[in-house]
Amino acid sequence: MIRLKLFYFLIVLFAFSVKADEKIRTSVSYISASVVYLNAGREAGFVVGDTVDIQKNQRTIATIIITAVSKKSSAAQILTGEGAISVGDMGISKKNFIAPIPAAAISIDTLKESTKTIVKSIPKSVALENNENIITGRVSLQYSGMFAEDSRFNLSQPAPLLRLNVRNLYGTGLEFSMYTRSYYDLTNSYQRYGGSSRFKTRIYEFQLQHDLPEDQFGYGVGRMTSRYVGGMGVFDGAHFFAREGDFTAGIMFGANVLQQSVDVNSDNTKEALFVSYTSGKDFSQHYDGTLAYIRQHVKGNLDREFLYLQNYAALSSQLSIYESSEFDLNDINNGVKSSALKLSNTFFSVNYYPVPWLSTSVGYDGTRSVYLFETMKSFSDTLFDKNFMQGFRANATVRLPYFISISSGFVIRTKKGDARDAVTMDGSARMSDILGSEIGAGVRYAKIYGVYSDGDNITFDIDRTFFYSLTTSLRYDYFSYRILTLRQDYATHTATASVNYRISRTFYSSLSADDVMDKTMNSIRIFAEIGMRF
């Protein structure tokens, strides 16, 4: 009995005297379009501004920064990433902390309960056997609807959805991932994206891969996006690669996947050779770079040939740089193809966190028109807008006490020809967990000088969490603008109400409704989902 008591005491003493090298561990609970939610919050020691590594198969695939904290959960945005984040992925914080040893004497009953808590907090993936499947994902029923005054824009789609990720498949080290959605369109415009059937199935991801850091060889097959060559986009095919030290070299090939319908275009194929170099295992000192040679064909004829360059460097825990560029190897002059090295697209971003309460980012996006030889199409590939040639951007966020954050941003985009430059300036303020009430509120204002219009946009939002299970939010957006050529003023009001209810540890539900009020066309948008995470 004395030994048992001593055992309990030593375990809890160890737990409460953990030093900075013992990181906070959590897991991803939910993922929206731009936010990653974690199963840990203020009680675990998180505060706004903390950064967290997201790991899959013991490999860091992304780094996120926490932007809002409640008692038992956190919301974060992605800073950097080379892979898709899934529900259930492990999160390990970079937060340095020391948990104090309780000053008061601890009873044996308290020690037992603390020991149970410690055991429960161990991530399940740590305790799994080597031959056990690690299954995560979600299955749900969704409904998307839009009801407008002009029925041509109506949308009414019930849909089942499945996201599945199986790691260490039958102990082989393989990973299988699948993301698919089927829907039945009840409206008369069901042919808007092609096809003669109201029932459609979209497969966004369906791949089997073997990519363990300790293995010399790896591969992936199916519908996929390569983490080594993001410039390839989504394709149906395969990639094979080999590692030697910090270098990885490989080949990938497949058919193009259409953006809207997600159908495969077997006449449009692409292949690439790539080499990647990675150095530094620590978050604060890390480099990852890839150089690829890519060719695109239409019915066997060369359509485009270019080099793709991608670099990410973490110079310190405060400074990181990301860059991607495309260099076309050919050009068309007077209808004749000739060899010419030309920078066609580049994206550059610098993120700097000089102090815990300040984060900054600056970037540049520039592009030139790309002429496809076989299809004779010209497109301007830019992350801002297909009409803009280049853009500079900067933003900063200041985190104040009492969960207050203030942000500002600036974007300037220049266009060739007689059109004027486009400038957007915005500022926002937000306070989370106001006076410990679990209520958060924010306001944002943007002044927009567009190429063809000027406008003002202001947004108010408020949210409230109840008992860690129910989250409600209200949002109002007002956008007024003037079309310069017509000299007419317009205004759009959008009121949004959202409810997210965590039914149990496994089941969840959500409902969101928008009322869009515009003198050109009013509409109501609805999204509902009920599902199960596993």
The Cα–Cα gap between 373 and 329 comes to: 12
How does strand 301-314 pair with strand 319-333?
Answer: antiparallel
Tell me how many domains the chain contains.
Answer: 1
Residue 319 lies in a domain: no
Alpha-carbon span 337 to 376, nearest angstrom: 11
In a domain, 19, yes or no: yes
Pairing of strands 217-225, 199-210: antiparallel
Model confidence at 191, in pLDDT bands (50, 70, 90)?
confident
The whole-number average pLDDT for the span 107-123 is 37
Paired strand residues for 346:
325, 366
From residue 104, how far is each of 100, 118, 179 by CA, in Å? 12, 20, 51
**Average confidence (pLDDT) over 119-133:** 44
Residue 384's pLDDT band, with cuts at 50, 70 and 90, is: very low
Global pTM reads 0.70
Weakest mean pLDDT among 90-104, 264-278, 483-497: 90-104
Q: In terms of DSSP bridges, do strands 51-56 and 90-93 run parallel, antiparallel, or are they unpaired?
A: antiparallel
The residues with which 181 forms a beta bridge, in sequence order, are 161, 202
Q: Which residues, in sequence order, are CB contacts of 92 under 8 Å at separation 6+?
A: 23, 24, 25, 52, 53, 55
What distances in angstroms separate CA 456 from CA 423, 475, 476, 477, one per listed residue? 12, 17, 14, 11
Sorted by sequence, the CB contacts under 8 Å of residue 212 that are 6+ apart come out as 57, 59, 173, 218
Using the predicted structure, report yes or no on whether residue 94 has a pLDDT greater than 70: no
User: What residues have CB less than 8 Å from 488, skipping those under 6 apart?
Assistant: 482
Closest to 292 in 3D by CA, of 274, 310, 305: 274
Residue 53 contacts residue 91 (beta carbons within 8 Å): yes
Q: pLDDT at residue 128 above 50?
A: no
Q: What's the CA gap between 326 and 420, in Å, rounded? A: 27
Question: What three-state secondary structure class fits 386?
Answer: coil
Distance from C-alpha of 368 to C-alpha of 378, rounded to nearest angstrom: 10
Which tens digit of pLDDT belongs to each residue from 312-327? 898 887 888 988 888 9
- In a domain, residue 73? The reply is yes
Q: Mean pLDDT, to the nearest integer, of 166-172?
A: 83
Are 254 and 260 in contact by the 8 Å Cβ rule? The answer is no
**Main-chain phi, psi angles of 497, to 5 degrees:** -125, 135
Model confidence over 410-465: pLDDT tens digits? 988 876 666 678 889 999 999 988 887 888 999 999 999 887 889 999 999 999 98
Amino acid identity at 154: N
Determine the pLDDT at residue 96: 41
Per-residue confidence (pLDDT) for residue 31, from 0 to 100: 74
- 508, pLDDT greater than 50: yes
Q: Is residue 15 part of a domain?
A: yes
Q: Is residue 14 part of a domain?
A: yes
Does residue 7 lie within any of the structural domains? yes
Do the domain assignments include residue 300? no
Question: Is the per-residue pLDDT at 118 higher than 60?
Answer: no
Tokens for 144, please give them: 């998307």
For residue 70, the domain's CATH number is 2.40.10.340
Indicate if the pLDDT at residue 20 is higher than 50: no
∠19-21-27 over CA atoms, to 5°?
105
pLDDT at 11 (0 to 100): 38
Give residue-wise pLDDT tens across range 36-72. 888 888 777 787 777 888 887 667 888 888 877 777 7
Q: Label residue 229 by pLDDT band (50, 70, 90).
A: confident
Mean pLDDT of the chain: 79
Q: Does residue 324 lie in a domain region?
A: no
Residue 23 lies in domain? 2-127
Residues in contact with 213: Cβ distance below 8 Å, sequence separation at least 6, in sequence order: 57, 58, 59
